[in-house]
């Protein structure tokens, strides 16, 4: 939930910049790169990563109510939808950077989809899924999960900058 608050702050930034992008009818591809980096590395890899690889994995081992199971499946689908939208955004941004002005609408549309989709997803987790999922775990299990979250986060900075080096090497 703490991480949701930072994602929300970023969504507000994107929303404000999007208003300028639309009124000026142009976009700075470097802004989109920064937004994409945040969404991919923080919101998806770091945040959804902990949800999917730790929380949802452990919930899989529990006997979930039909409703909770359904919501968990929806959340996983929504993560996938977020990834696909981000991929389309990156493609549009690359086309635009290379001079294809028709890709402008692709950037605007996908940014809009992301800022509309994420708050609903976050709300579903904060108000519905997280409170009910806590009931399946003992305090001990919860502590073990938190420890695993820390370990997951600890590795993230190394994974990020490894990928930066690999990406730059592959450009040669």
The minimum distance between CB 78 and Fe ion, in angstroms, equals 7
CA distance 48 to 29: 25
Q: Does 68 bind Fe ion (CB under 5 A)?
A: no
Residue number, 100 or 131, with CB nearest to Fe ion: 131
Q: Are 27 and 101 in contact (CB under 8 A)?
A: no
CA distance 172 to 167: 9
CA distance 14 to 115: 7
The minimum distance between CB 74 and Fe ion, in angstroms, equals 10
The minimum distance between CB 39 and Fe ion, in angstroms, equals 12
CA distance 156 to 80: 20
The minimum distance between CB 4 and Fe ion, in angstroms, equals 6
CA distances from 9 to 3, 16, 31, 121, 145 (A): 10, 11, 16, 15, 26
Binders in 31-60 for Fe ion, by CB under 5 A = 51
Residue number, 82 or 107, with CB nearest to Fe ion: 82
CA-based torsion, 141, 143, 147, 150: positive or negative: positive
Residue number, 56 or 104, with CB nearest to Fe ion: 56
CA distance 17 to 27: 9
DSSP state of 172: -
Name the segment binding Fe ion (CB under 5 A); options: 21-29, 96-104, 121-129, 158-166.
Answer: 121-129
Residue number, 4 or 27, with CB nearest to Fe ion: 4
The minimum distance between CB 168 and Fe ion, in angstroms, equals 30
Residue number, 59 or 108, with CB nearest to Fe ion: 59
Among 107, 125, 133, 149, binds Fe ion (CB under 5 A): 125
**For binding to Fe ion (CB under 5 A), which residues are involved?**
51, 125
């Amino acid at each position: 939930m703490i991480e949701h608050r930072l994602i929300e702050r970023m969504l507000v930034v994107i929303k404000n910049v999007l208003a300028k992008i639309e009124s000026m009818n142009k976009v700075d591809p470097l802004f989109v790169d920064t937004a994409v980096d945040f969404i991919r590395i923080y919101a998806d890899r770091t945040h959804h990563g902990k949800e999917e690889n730790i929380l949802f994995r452990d919930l899989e081992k529990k006997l979930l109510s039909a409703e909770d199971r359904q919501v968990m499946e929806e959340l996983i689908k929504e993560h996938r939808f977020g990834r696909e939208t981000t991929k389309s955004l990156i493609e549009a941004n690359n086309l635009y950077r290379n001079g294809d002005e028709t890709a402008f609408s692709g950037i605007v549309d996908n940014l809009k989809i992301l800022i509309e989709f994420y708050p609903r997803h976050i709300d579903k987790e904060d108000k519905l899924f997280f409170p009910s999922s806590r009931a399946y775990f003992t305090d001990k299990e919860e502590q073990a999960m938190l420890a695993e979250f820390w370990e997951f986060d600890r590795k993230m900075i190394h994974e990020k900058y490894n990928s930066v080096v690999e990406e730059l090497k592959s450009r040669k």
